[in-house]
Structure 1
Amino acid sequence: MSLRAALPGDLGFIRELAQRPDYAPFITDEDEARLAFYAGDAAHRLLIWDEGAGPAGFALFADVGMQSGTVELRRLALDKTGSGGGLGFVQALTGYAFQALGAAKVWLDASGENLRAQKVYERAGYRLEGRLRAHWFRPALGRNVDVMLYGMLRDEWAG
């Protein structure tokens, strides 16, 4: 498996993942025009997790190139869940942020109800830095959920 830049032909795959009912409570679906913007903007990296036979997941980094060196891992999703591949995916994304993007810190968030994601982030070495209570309205649920904030500093990374 490897990470590569998303191509125009990948945008449909990204939308399909974001629209799946199992992801709707946890990630935001954006139209292809917005995804194309991310793919071409210097402050973002829209990536595909490629297994050789085609895309297996995607991720979006934001705030690339900020003077602080802080990079947000804004969105990530795998096509196949529950098979244990999430940890390797998150580790690869974290390595990419520190190595390719030169991040001093990587941060991400998770729905307070997405316990599986929280466990993966913690196993990958991210630390819980805070909780925003009833912060994020999720249309699929019709209510607000807590947002869990996680971060990792470069010197905490085991790369």
Structure 2
Amino acid sequence: MVSKYRSRNVPMSVRRATFTDIPFIMRTERLEGYEALVGRWEEARHMATLADSRYAYFVAEGDTTPLGFAILCGWASPEHSTLVQRVAVAEPGRGLGTAMMRTVVDRAFTATAVHRLGISCFPDNIRARRTYEAVGFVAEGVARSSTFFRGQHRDMLVLSLLRPEWDTQARGRLKAPSVS
């Protein structure tokens, strides 16, 4: 299933990733500045994770050009809780991340029985926080020293979107304008 969306006049579709998308994902993770914000994996880890049914990889495309990716953990989990583990776009600042995230969030809630969709970012990653809040995530608080990243214990800002909140948002987006 491919979901269509439009971002600042850039047509975009989001689809499940395949093994042939791993080189793009790895290139994107390795863009300047991303190591400090997104992290990066080696090919073997991406291959194993993509093959694991507990994960869902998504790639956003404009025409046939890949624009970004998202990795979700706990896909269709029996606990009804899924974590957006990694998100990155090849060209930040164009609104593509927001459009891609909105589509990925919609896919998670329509394709699974997820009740809580979680995501986290470093508290100083303002661009990510704005993107997540723009698609409906709510900040829950800071998990102090909860991750060991690049040799340091780092705080993480924890955000979530619950199904009732998403239902309300989805109805608002899909509601047809009234005709008088």
Q: In the TM superposition, what are the counterparts of 1:4-153 in structure 2 within 5 Å?
A: 4-139=15-150, 143-153=152-162
Distance of 1:20 and 1:85 partners within structure 2: 16
| Residue 85 (structure 1) shift | 2.2
Local SS of the residue matching 2:124: coil
Structure 1 unmatched runs, 5+: none
CA positional deviation for 1:49: 0.8
- Please give the TM-score of this superposition, normalised by the length of structure 2: 0.81
Q: Give unmatched runs, 5+ long, in structure 2.
A: 1-11, 171-180
* Preserved contact between residue 59 and residue 70 of structure 2 (Cα < 8 Å): yes
Deviations 1:87-143 (A, max 9, x none): 21111111011012331110011111201111111121111112012333332xx53
TM-score after normalising by structure 1: 0.91
Letter in 2 for 1:152: L
How far apart are residue 84 of structure 1 and its match? 2.1
Shift of 1:144: 3.3
Aligned residues: 157
Q: What residue identity is the alignment partner of 1:121?
A: Y
Report the RMSD for the aligned CA atoms in angstroms: 1.5
Cα deviation for residue 33 of structure 1 reads 1.5
Structure 1 outlier segments of 4+, above 6 Å: none
